[in-house]
Amino acid sequence: MATIRDVAARAGVSVATVSRVLNGNGYVNKETARRVRQVIQELNYRPNMVARGLANRKTGTLAVILPDIKNPFFSELARAVEDTARAGGFTVIFCNSDDLGPREKSYIEVLRQKYIDGIIIASNTLEEEDVAYINDNDIPLVVLDRGPGDGSCAVFRAKNADGAKKAVRHLIDTGCRKVAHIAGPEALVTARERLKGYREVAGAFSWFDESLIEPGHFSVEGGKGAVRRLLERHPDVDGIFAGNDLMAIGALKALQRMGIKVPDQVSICGFDGVEMTEWTEPELTTIAQPIYEMGAKATHYLIDRVRGRAEPKAVVELDVRLIQRGTTRRGTD
């Protein structure tokens, strides 16, 4: 492969000059520049990014750490990140953390050794010290969903509590008289926020009871189990707000298995708005987060920071919206 030296030699200039035309900085005579570009073409020269990285401490690579790429929510997010990164001339490294703190830490360490330009992380185990470490090493960071309390880094998240309220209100507006909640893991802020939203709206009704809240682990299986336990305790539940779409799908499945009609006997509303919610029959009503937009915005922001524009801190809360579909009754209009 041709190196910058080859180009310089063939163009009869120094490597510095070639570097200048390559990076478009410093003064270069028009004609000289033309000649250099010409040679670059002839030799089909491409700068070596590793050498450049060593010299610059910039590698044109971003990293995204997320719990599990198989989770449709995260794969949609990942897609948004990669698209945006590509458009900006960056390449991206993916890391599955399974929400394991030590794994995240070890990734962060490796990424630092590799001079990664910036990190996007969707984590619930990230600690303040990790953020501090990343900041100390001057690695731009953006956190999805969760930000350390002190606002020491940028955060992008959806309005979770707000969405939950919308969900419960919608269920009630469409005729439900007793709405239960299948909750995500307490360890996750997003799950807690959604639970909070549920409590806020449902708590005002006389039928409300703490036992209407059942954990479902954010998984399809969890959703199935939760709905069974719930109906055993409260056979009269006629509305279910699931903390995410996977659990909603599990709930739908379990209900169908039990011979309970959705939405005639029980309505369901999920949360997230992953594509899959259109694949069930009936299709799932859900509170849609702007997943792609969230990934794209986070990445744009990160790139801006890498390039030295943009503040190191920022908190962006994205709006969610109700998508009414088959698992809830038509509005009483």
Partner DNA sequence: CTGAAAGCGCTAACAA
Partner DNA sequence: TTGTTAGCGCTTTCAG
Give the separation between CA 235 and CA 227, rounded to whole angstroms. Answer: 10
CB of 83 to DNA, least distance (A): 26
Measured from the CB atom, the residue of 8 and 77 that comes closer to DNA is 8
Measured from the CB atom, the residue of 128 and 281 that comes closer to its own copies is 281
Give the separation between CA 239 and CA 285, rounded to whole angstroms. Answer: 12
Give the separation between CA 272 and CA 287, rounded to whole angstroms. Answer: 6
Residue 32: contacted member of its own copies, DNA, none (CB under 5 to 8 Å, by partner type): DNA
Measured from the CB atom, the residue of 78 and 240 that comes closer to its own copies is 78
Measured from the CB atom, the residue of 30 and 70 that comes closer to DNA is 30
Residue 22: contacted member of DNA, its own copies, none (CB under 5 to 8 Å, by partner type): DNA
Give the separation between CA 198 and CA 179, rounded to whole angstroms. Answer: 9
Give the separation between CA 19 and CA 40, rounded to whole angstroms. Answer: 11
CB of 21 to its own copies, least distance (A): 18
Binding site for DNA (CB under 7 A): 1, 3-5, 12-17, 19-20, 22-23, 25-33, 45, 47-48, 51-52, 54-56
CB of 174 to its own copies, least distance (A): 21
The DSSP-derived string for 304-326 is HHHTT-S-S--EEEE--EEE--T
Total residue length of the chain: 333
Give the separation between CA 259 and CA 102, rounded to whole angstroms. Answer: 44
Give the separation between CA 52 and CA 132, rounded to whole angstroms. Answer: 27
Binding site for its own copies (CB under 8 A): 1, 46-51, 53-54, 59-61, 68-70, 72, 75-76, 78-79, 82-83, 86, 91-96, 109-115, 137, 220, 249-250, 252-253, 256-257, 275-276, 278-281
Residue 3: contacted member of DNA, its own copies, none (CB under 5 to 8 Å, by partner type): DNA
CB of 56 to its own copies, least distance (A): 10
Residue 195: contacted member of DNA, its own copies, none (CB under 5 to 8 Å, by partner type): none
Give the separation between CA 304 and CA 155, rounded to whole angstroms. Answer: 15
Give the separation between CA 58 and CA 306, rounded to whole angstroms. Answer: 9
Give the separation between CA 219 and CA 231, rounded to whole angstroms. Answer: 18
Give the separation between CA 91 and CA 116, rounded to whole angstroms. Answer: 10
CB of 25 to DNA, least distance (A): 6
Residue 173: contacted member of DNA, its own copies, none (CB under 5 to 8 Å, by partner type): none
CB of 196 to DNA, least distance (A): 46
Residue 72: contacted member of its own copies, DNA, none (CB under 5 to 8 Å, by partner type): its own copies
Name residue 285's beta-bridge partners: 269
Determine how many CB atoms are found less than 10 A away from the CB of residue 279.
10
Give the separation between CA 203 and CA 226, rounded to whole angstroms. Answer: 20
> Dihedral of CA 31/34/38/44: which sign?
positive
Measured from the CB atom, the residue of 84 and 125 that comes closer to its own copies is 84
Amino acid (one-letter) located at 87? A
CB of 55 to DNA, least distance (A): 3
Residue 312: contacted member of its own copies, DNA, none (CB under 5 to 8 Å, by partner type): none
Residue 276: contacted member of its own copies, DNA, none (CB under 5 to 8 Å, by partner type): its own copies
CB of 192 to DNA, least distance (A): 42
